[in-house]
């Protein structure tokens, strides 16, 4: 038996319901549900999303039987309305709208008044007794249909209207008469014939088929595809098509149309919120030609419709138990509902509505937690640009790290530090950043780069710091040496004020006004509910005491990743680091490292104190050594002078450290095994800091993490040395403290050999950034600029694997490693510390994979807490 | 119960046997077996290899009970010999020798005459009635023991002998008297006291403990470790220690000592082969002071001992059913056997002996096949440097590709091609090679580079071509621009003759004489037996018709990997390739590619013809495009001029193609998806070549292989296009042909998603070079020069994973992929085409993993055939 393709609604009864959202789309399911609730809805029918999918697999042909089913439903609709499609005297007109499972901008919105032609328009005149209304409706239909279905640009029709107004010497559309519109309809049709080579379709059935196919077509237009890409919506969901009897808000002063929210979507306040226009069709509200009135004014204008609307909106909210976004039309005083759906809302509103509805007894805490999208709440954690101001946006880049920043432009990390030292707020602007810029990035309010993607150095480090960043802003050209940047012919100089919006990627000229985040109240309440539900621990990636403190305030239960390389760049130690690299032998290296050791110890003391009572996982030195040396000739010469070596020698060293594929080169624990002095120094610093603090009465939980381990033998070697240094330190200080030794799992082989490695590792932390790079064979830095965008666009990849964990590939390795690791060591602690630790979908995967914790940037900690709670709730549902 | 640490042999009965080789070492097992066979062997005992392992895990201490067991066995030995250890009148003297499972140069060899001191030496005088013999034995013992156990250099003792000879006015050792030796012993001991700060140990038990510990110590000396590394011998096997009663070959003219082989170890001829010295101890044969006599002369000198020896060697060979390497001593006319073991032999001898022994009915074919080491036979496939000549070796590099070559030095690929065109034999000498040198490498007899490791470009490509190469020869300094290279103060100029030995890495001045390989006769017989046994298919990696022909002659059953990128470098098409890269759009690329297409078609025609009837697997373009462009400024300027573009534009293009990690960048099928024109052209060329040949009546089996696939979506996209082009070509040519479409599995994700990918791929070929790089996170090019040597030396890695497949990590991925792939597609054809396809251990793994075939360099094909047979035989055994 063929599946049912079309679902009818009308006369107080619908074949569909709210539960059939996947099949009927959001709009269709809402119309059906309202119909069943006895709410007045113009009758109509929904062609299912499955038809769209079949349409595409079927070479863009309708499945057999579809046309019959549509004709049967049209007959039902004619009966319900007492009108007939294409009837010269009493014509049935319909609207055709798309409606996917989730609301999707970029898809075809609406065609109104379908069914009109030169004959039926006369019937509409007959029925309405309003010729101007009828021809206005007709020309609207021709214009809309030609634009959306036939591809004749909207502007060309507007030009004809302008000509007509000019000819008639009037200014407003409303001043045009029925005759004018009639004449314009003729001109419109001539335009269509000229532009498409075919006459405008007069046959209503032909019009309907064209409209339905246009809805299907809009599912795969570039904007819709782009939106799906960004929102991880599968291409095979498809869209439904809603065909609904027209009701008219443009029949005079007792008619109108409006949109409203059952609560304030910006703030979440419990107030009926919206606007309406008297004597208008839906599109007029959006078009902005006339200014709509606030919804409250409807009480005066059309009190009975208003009262009915109020009763309906309250019923709808009570029924759906969520804030609704509704559309309605009043036709000659009679109210019709055209749509109800969950209303989109700001993060602030989402939190307030969720918490309020629990207080009101509408929903339980679990539902409240589910109502807030984890990704959304990042907005609440950062200062925001006050939307109530006029901004001069001069460029737009990638929104790499959310929040907003205002400061004066500087072009080097050193300048950033120097200006910040004299209390200047600065924005660091560079072509791209490198590890040498860390200090300056810290000192700056925000970072702006002209190059690099969402996972470039600037982006990753900024997110880690919770610092606003806009990267890859191709419209600007930075001349660091001249201390200027160019944007669209304009020159911005050092010291000029700019503002950045890291949530939108906007670069704004001047000082924008800001709103500070508020983390107490409803936010705290909701997060506490999430914490009650979640099982996954949430820790933070924090490299400094400041980051650690912020993370703790945002609910981190430990530091899951403390990278030590950034500490090596500090001005007071980079020289010793370079001495170490240039040393000829182990002894020379040890001598240079001895200078750094007391500072490293101090770093760890401060982080341990900031996280007192909670675990701190410290990763030993990871990046290749060449990152600590300059690469440009002039900097080499300068440094050589400073270090008292020949430029030749330094150049040779830089050259000898060059690698074809540094990602796969001498880094991580390979460094620690080749040059044991480095790791030994770091481990001594960790244990001395821990030992001293324990002696002073503090509770510290150091965990030493080895990067890039791939074999049991590496882990064994490192573990043995770690234990020896721990014992030696404890003996020397005369104190005992607990510590753990574990490893990152970031090369595929480590995951494959997890059963072995767990024999020597007390914890695993999946470094999913590198693990993704090596599992896919994608260099993150290279892929972003070359094939990755194409792969996403062509749907070779369903989503960016550096943003959301690839569950089929990388995830499989993780699952294997967890299973094998726990087989060897049942109490193995397992977490994740890549960028994915702050991505909701990835956090949910970590929950399902049985991880103990995720670790992410401090400002992603609340996101992860909420996502972890969602994971539990989704599991319960399934 | 403690394990048994010591095994006795003597009086015609031994506690051990030949089967206990792992426990007793090769020497100990041989002595035990000979004892049990009733062959005269001086009695003694063997301390097991397990003791050595315990010794090292036990902080270099003897396990409890060992000393007791040694003392008990010494008592048995005293009883057997009727002498007593440390007896002043009738002292028992012993030899102490190491003996691992496999013979290992670099380990301690022998200490003779242990048990002598100032008192027991008098007993030896008493017993032998020969004071000179006794003191000569004593000074030999002190000298050997001091050198090996106490670390006093051998040369210092020799100096004392020279002084004594000078003082006595004589020239030969044999002219020194008993008194002289007595005096020298005193001088030796004074030297030891001075050098070590301790007197020479007089106590025989102390001597014995020192000697045993020295044997253990020699297991971990640098030379032994290095040897184990090169031969993949695990560090925890340990060595046994053999303590054996002394017999003396230096008691006069009816005494002597010798070594012999039961067949000729160079040629394999069936002849008793060896040499002996009258009146000598074992070390004299090796020392080369006196010239030994051929073994046949013993028949005249000591006929009864000779006849006994002949009977014994025939028994031993019949018993062991293998060629034996034996050591013997004759003491006063009485024959003692000191060792028997399988004799080492050349590849030629191994093949001949194996085939002869089958003819003699000694062994069956399977045993014969097992007797020849797969790696060894590579020697037989290449011209060899005639060993019967004096060579001037000027440097030694890595033996990257076996064989030998003689030619005149050139310094650029262009010169190589130009000289070869006028029939000059050339050796291409470069710092390192790049893909641009392929043509010159082809034209040259051999390749010599100063940089790069065993898997550098020069090494890999040379092996692929079966061309002799010596790489990473650090002793030479190449100045390509001046057309000279320097080596140890000598300058070699363009046009000078040199010779290369790719099997040893030697660089030889002048024209060495060569021996051509012979592949018929015994070799062909043995290989046919291997083919009867093996189950794994063996194909070849061949990029040219010539390679394909060679591969077929060497037994390849198809081309498992035909790389197409080398074809792009040919002089007549590189220009079009560069045009394609510089093109602004798809159309421009297609135009440039159209120029290459006919040539590509011709390439494929020729390879298909060379392999007629066998499958040819063609991999579409793999390397990143920047490899086809020059990178040095002067070359860029030159090319820009040639191409008629601005140097600026070309420079920008080169710059824009630069990647941080090209290994993980825009290459493989990513290119094919971003620029579909490239793959489409290649697929058309393949199918047109195939279609035309089929029309001409040839049997061709094209298989199209997609490189670097990581997801099902990639495979789907490529497969769809491939099928479309195949169909289009078949329709156009009006011919049908079969073809397959498959993929390399070389990124870990492909192995993880194998079940999915197999839905669209008809075959898998594991590209284990890249798979190893990405699974370990090792860049092959970088690792060889940095951490990999250290990892091997520290035993972090048991072996080089680029040489022998890492079964625990990479192998696990392969096993998973095979299982999941066959679940989706039961008839999935699975092979391997990395360098590992020619490595015996890896080939055996492939057999066990259920692969259908391996594909390797043409000259490794026989190695793989033999290894595949070994795999079956080993499986049967297990």
Q: Please, which residues 712-731 of chain A have a Cβ atom closer than 8 Å to chain B? A: 713-714, 717
The 3-state secondary structure of B788-836 reads HHHHHHCCCCCCCCCCCCCCCCHHHHHHHHHHHHHHHCCCCEEEECCHH
Angle separating helix axes B586-610 and B676-695, nearest 10 degrees: 30
Residue numbers in B near A669 (CB within 8 A): none
Percent of chain A whose pLDDT exceeds 90: 70
Percent of chain B whose pLDDT exceeds 90: 70
Distance from CA of B841 to the nearest CA of A (A): 20
Q: Please, which residues 733-772 of chain A have a Cβ atom closer than 8 Å to chain B? A: 746-749, 752-753, 756, 770
Whether residue B120 is predicted with pLDDT greater than 80 in this model: the reply is: yes
pLDDT score at B723: 98
CB within 8 Å: A664 and B713: no
Whether residue A371 is predicted with pLDDT greater than 80 in this model: the reply is: yes
DSSP character for A384?
A: E
pLDDT in tens, A603-648: 999 999 999 999 999 999 999 999 888 888 888 888 888 888 898 8
- Search chain B and give the residue with CA nearest A746: B777
CB within 8 Å: A662 and B786: no
Q: Please, which residues 819-838 of chain A have a Cβ atom closer than 8 Å to chain B? A: none
Residue numbers in A near B660 (CB within 8 A): 662-663, 779, 781-782
pLDDT in tens, A63-88: 999 999 999 999 999 999 999 999 99
Mutate to test the interface with B, among A666, A748, A769, A794 (most CBs of B within 10 A): A748
pLDDT score at A569: 83
pLDDT score at A106: 66
Residue pair B765/B709 in contact by the 8 Å Cβ criterion: no
CB within 8 Å: B666 and A778: no
User: How far is CA A250 from each of CA A122, A187, A513, A674, rounded to the nearest angstrom?
Assistant: 17, 23, 42, 81
CB within 8 Å: A794 and B660: no
Distance from CA of B708 to the nearest CA of A (A): 8
CB within 8 Å: A710 and B777: yes
Q: Rounded to the nearest 5°, which phi and psi values hold at B453?
A: -105, -165
In which element (H, E) is residue B538 found?
strand B537-541
Q: What is the dihedral of CA B388, B394, B399, B401, to 10 degrees?
A: -80
User: How far is CA B478 from each of CA B448, B451, B504, B712, rounded to the nearest angstrom?
Assistant: 10, 10, 21, 47
In which element (H, E) is residue B320 found?
helix B303-320
Distance from CA of A544 to the nearest CA of B (A): 28
CB within 8 Å: A781 and B809: no
Residue numbers in B near A714 (CB within 8 A): 796
Dihedral sign computed on CA atoms, order B54, B58, B61, B62: negative
* Residue closest to B810 by CA, chosen among B774, B772, B839, B780: B772
Distance from CA of A844 to the nearest CA of B (A): 21
Partnered with residue B328 across adjacent β-strands are B258, B337
Whether residue A29 is predicted with pLDDT greater than 80 in this model: the reply is: yes
Average pLDDT of span A723-732: 97
Distance from CA of B1 to the nearest CA of A (A): 28
Q: Rounded to the nearest 5°, which phi and psi values hold at A706?
A: -95, 125
Average pLDDT of span B597-603: 93
pLDDT score at A109: 72
In terms of average pLDDT, the best of A438-452, B171-185, B838-852 is: B838-852
The band of A869, judged by pLDDT with boundaries at 50, 70 and 90, is very high
Mean pLDDT value across chain B: 92
pLDDT score at A402: 79
What whole-number distance in Å separates Cα of residue A143 and Cα of residue A159? 12
* Residue closest to B677 by CA, chosen among B752, B770, B587: B587
pLDDT score at B289: 57
pLDDT in tens, B418-429: 999 888 999 999
pLDDT in tens, A327-368: 999 999 999 999 998 888 878 889 999 999 999 999 999 999
Q: Return the minimum-mean-pLDDT range out of A423-437, A605-619, B48-62, B680-694.
A: A423-437
DSSP character for B403?
A: S
Task: Give per-residue burial for A151-187: e unless 16+ CB within 10 Å, then b.
Answer: ebeeebbeebbeebbeeeeeeeeeebeeebbbbbbeb
Residue pair B247/B254 in contact by the 8 Å Cβ criterion: no
* Residue closest to B852 by CA, chosen among B861, B841, B843, B840: B843
Average pLDDT of span A790-807: 92
The band of B280, judged by pLDDT with boundaries at 50, 70 and 90, is confident
Distance from CA of B586 to the nearest CA of A (A): 15
pLDDT score at A483: 94
B795 shares contact with chain A (CB less than 8 Å): yes
CB within 8 Å: B670 and A782: no
Q: What is the DSSP string of A155-218?
A: HHHHHHHHHHHHHHT--SGGG--HHHHHHHHHHHHHHHHHHHSSPPP--HHHHHHHHHHHHHHH
- Which ipTM was obtained for this model? 0.79
The band of B455, judged by pLDDT with boundaries at 50, 70 and 90, is low
Whether residue B315 is predicted with pLDDT greater than 90 in this model: the reply is: yes
Average pLDDT of span B7-16: 94
- Long-range contacts for A123-129 (Cβ within 8 Å, ≥24 apart)? A123/A87, A123/A88, A123/A89, A123/A90, A123/A91, A124/A91, A124/A93, A126/A89, A126/A90, A127/A89, A127/A90, A127/A91, A128/A248, A128/A251
Residue pair A14/A36 in contact by the 8 Å Cβ criterion: yes
Residue pair B254/B41 in contact by the 8 Å Cβ criterion: no
What whole-number distance in Å separates Cα of residue A431 and Cα of residue A478? 6
Number of C-beta neighbours around residue B774 at 10 A: 31
Q: Please, which residues 660-679 of chain B have a Cβ atom closer than 8 Å to chain A? A: 660-666, 670, 673-674
Mutate to test the interface with A, among B796, B805, B807, B816 (most CBs of A within 10 A): B796
Number of C-beta neighbours around residue A720 at 10 A: 12
pLDDT score at B288: 52
Dihedral sign computed on CA atoms, order A753, A755, A761, A766: positive
What whole-number distance in Å separates Cα of residue B591 and Cα of residue B582? 12
Residue pair B861/B804 in contact by the 8 Å Cβ criterion: no
Number of C-beta neighbours around residue A641 at 10 A: 12
- Catalytic sites of A, residue numbers: 457, 833
pLDDT score at A687: 98
Q: Which among B708, B779, B787 has CB closest to A661? A: B779
Partnered with residue A367 across adjacent β-strands are none
pLDDT in tens, A96-138: 999 999 877 667 778 999 999 999 999 999 999 999 999 999 9
Average pLDDT of span A510-530: 90
pLDDT score at A316: 95
Q: Rounded to the nearest 5°, which phi and psi values hold at B118?
A: -60, -25
Q: Which among B666, B673, B774 has CB closest to A782? A: B666
DSSP strand pairing (A829-832 vs A763-766)? parallel
Secondary structure of residue A4 in the 3-state scheme = coil
Q: Which among B661, B753, B794 has CB closest to A661? A: B661
pLDDT score at A286: 55
Secondary structure of residue A544 in the 3-state scheme = coil
Q: Which among B665, B783, B813 has CB closest to A779? A: B665
Taking phi over 0 as left and psi of -120 to 50 as alpha, with beta for the rest, A715 belongs to alpha
Whether residue A472 is predicted with pLDDT greater than 80 in this model: the reply is: yes
Average pLDDT of span B52-65: 92
pLDDT in tens, B662-712: 999 999 999 999 999 999 999 999 999 999 999 999 999 999 999 999 999
Distance from CA of A60 to the nearest CA of B (A): 19
Q: Which among A664, A708, A796 has CB closest to B773? A: A664
Residue pair B46/B83 in contact by the 8 Å Cβ criterion: no
Q: Which residue has the higher pLDDT, A290 or B188?
A: B188
The band of B813, judged by pLDDT with boundaries at 50, 70 and 90, is very high
Residue pair B326/B316 in contact by the 8 Å Cβ criterion: yes
Whether residue A565 is predicted with pLDDT greater than 90 in this model: the reply is: no
Residue pair A365/A529 in contact by the 8 Å Cβ criterion: yes
Percent of chain B whose pLDDT exceeds 70: 98
The band of A270, judged by pLDDT with boundaries at 50, 70 and 90, is very high
CA end-to-end distance (rounded Å), chain A = 30
Q: Please, which residues 549-568 of chain A have a Cβ atom closer than 8 Å to chain B? A: none
DSSP character for A855?
A: E
* Residue closest to B260 by CA, chosen among B195, B330, B319, B208: B330
Q: What is the DSSP string of A354-367?
A: HHHHHHTTSS-HHH
Average pLDDT of span A754-770: 97
Q: Rounded to the nearest 5°, which phi and psi values hold at A8?
A: -95, 150
pLDDT in tens, B27-46: 999 999 999 999 999 999 99
pLDDT score at B439: 81
Residue count of chain A: 878
pLDDT score at B293: 85
What whole-number distance in Å separates Cα of residue B361 and Cα of residue B554? 28
pLDDT score at A704: 98
pLDDT score at A1: 57
CB within 8 Å: A786 and B663: no
DSSP character for A486?
A: E
Taking phi over 0 as left and psi of -120 to 50 as alpha, with beta for the rest, B532 belongs to alpha
The band of A455, judged by pLDDT with boundaries at 50, 70 and 90, is low
């Amino acid at each position: 038996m063929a599946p049912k393709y079309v679902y009818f609604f009308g006369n107080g009864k619908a074949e569909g319901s709210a539960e059939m959202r996947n099949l009927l789309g959001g709009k269709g399911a809402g119309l059906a549900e309202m119909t069943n609730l006895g709410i007045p809805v113009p009758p109509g029918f929904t062609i299912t999303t499955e038809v769209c999918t079949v349409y595409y697999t079927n070479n863009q042909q309708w499945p057999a039987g579809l046309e019959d089913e549509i004709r049967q439903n049209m007959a039902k609709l004619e009966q319900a309305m007492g009108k007939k499609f294409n009837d010269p005297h009493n014509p049935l007109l319909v609207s055709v709208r798309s409606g996917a499972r989730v609301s999707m901008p970029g898809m075809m919105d609406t065609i109104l008044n379908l069914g009109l032609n030169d004959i039926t328009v006369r019937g509409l005149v007959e029925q309405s007794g309003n010729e101007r209304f009828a021809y206005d409706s007709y020309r609207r239909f021709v214009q809309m249909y030609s634009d959306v279905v036939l591809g004749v640009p909207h502007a060309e029709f507007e030009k004809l209207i302008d000509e007509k107004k000019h000819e008639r010497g009037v200014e407003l559309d409303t001043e045009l008469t029925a005759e004018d519109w009639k004449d314009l309809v003729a001109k419109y049709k001539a335009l269509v014939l000229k532009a498409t080579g075919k006459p405008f379709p007069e046959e209503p059935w032909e019009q309907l088929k064209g409209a339905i196919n246009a809805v299907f077509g809009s599912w795969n237009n570039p904007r819709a595809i782009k939106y799906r890409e960004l929102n991880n919506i599968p291409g095979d969901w498809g869209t439904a098509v809603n065909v609904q009897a027209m009701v008219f808000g443009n029949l005079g002063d007792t008619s109108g149309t409006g949109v409203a929210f059952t609560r304030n979507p910006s703030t979440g306040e419990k107030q009926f919120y919206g606007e309406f226009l008297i004597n208008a069709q839906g599109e007029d509200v959006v078009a902005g030609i006339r200014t709509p009135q606030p919804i409250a004014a409807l009480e005066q204008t059309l009190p009975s419709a208003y009262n009915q609307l109020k009763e309906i909106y309250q019923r709808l909210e009570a029924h759906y138990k969520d804030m609704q976004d509704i559309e309605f039309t009043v036709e000659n005083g009679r109210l019709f509902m055209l749509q109800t759906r969950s209303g989109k809302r700001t993060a602030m509103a989402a939190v307030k509505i969720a918490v309020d509805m629990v207080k009101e007894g509408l929903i339980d805490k679990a539902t409240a937690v589910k109502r807030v999208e984890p990704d959304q709440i990042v907005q609440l954690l950062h200062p925001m640009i006050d939307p109530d101001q006029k901004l001069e946006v001069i460029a737009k880049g990638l929104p790499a790290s959310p929040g907003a920043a205002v400061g004066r432009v500087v072009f080097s990390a050193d300048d950033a530090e120097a200006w910040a030292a004299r209390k200047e707020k600065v924005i660091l602007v560079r072509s791209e950043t490198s590890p040498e810029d860390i200090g300056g990035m810290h000192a700056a309010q925000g970072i702006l780069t002209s190059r690099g993607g969402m996972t470039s150095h600037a982006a990753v480090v900024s997110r880690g710091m919770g610092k606003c960043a806009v990267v890859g802003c191709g419209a600007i050209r930075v001349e660091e040496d001249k201390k200027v940047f160019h944007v669209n012919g304009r020159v911005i100089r050092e010291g000029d004020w700019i503002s950045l919006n890291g949530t939108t990627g906007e670069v704004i000229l001047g000082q924008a006004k800001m709103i500070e985040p508020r983390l107490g109240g409803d936010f705290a309440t909701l997060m506490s509910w999430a914490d009650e539900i979640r099982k996954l621990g949430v820790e933070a990636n924090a490299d400094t005491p400041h980051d650690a403190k912020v993370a703790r305030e945002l609910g981190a239960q430990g530091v899951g990743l403390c990278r030590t390389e950034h500490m090596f760049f500090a001005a007071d130690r980079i020289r010793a680091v370079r001495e170490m690299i240039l040393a000829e032998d182990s002894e020379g290296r040890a001598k240079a490292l001895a200078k750094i050791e007391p500072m490293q110890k101090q770093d760890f003391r401060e982080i341990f104190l900031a996280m007192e009572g909670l675990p701190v996982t410290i990763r030993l030195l990871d990046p290749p050594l060449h990152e600590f040396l300059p690469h440009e000739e002039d900097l080499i010469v300068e440094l050589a002078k400073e270090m008292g070596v020949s430029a030749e020698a330094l150049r040779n060293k830089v050259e000898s450290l060059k690698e074809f594929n540094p990602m796969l080169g001498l880094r991580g624990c390979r460094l620690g095994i080749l040059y044991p002095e480095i790791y030994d120094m770091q481990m001594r610093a960790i244990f001395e800091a821990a030992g001293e603090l324990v002696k002073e009465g503090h509770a510290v939980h150091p965990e030493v993490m080895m990067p890039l381990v791939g074999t049991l033998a590496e882990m064994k070697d490192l573990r043995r040395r770690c234990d020896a240094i721990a014992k030696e330190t404890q003996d020397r200080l005369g104190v005992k403290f607990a510590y753990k030794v574990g490893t990152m799992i970031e090369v595929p082989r480590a995951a494959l050999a997890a059963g072995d490695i767990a024999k020597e590792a007390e914890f695993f932390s999946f470094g999913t950034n590198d693990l993704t790079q090596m599992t896919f064979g994608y260099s993150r830095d290279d892929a972003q600029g070359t094939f990755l965008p194409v792969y996403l666009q062509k749907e070779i990849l369903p989503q960016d694997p550096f943003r959301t964990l690839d569950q089929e590939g990388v995830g499989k390795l993780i699952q294997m490693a967890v299973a094998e690791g726990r087989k060897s060591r049942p109490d193995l602690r397992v977490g994740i510390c890549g960028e994915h630790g702050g991505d909701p979908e990835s956090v949910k995967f970590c929950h399902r994979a049985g991880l103990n914790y995720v670790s992410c940037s401090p400002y992603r900690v609340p996101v992860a807490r909420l996502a972890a709670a969602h994971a539990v709730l989704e599991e319960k549902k399934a």
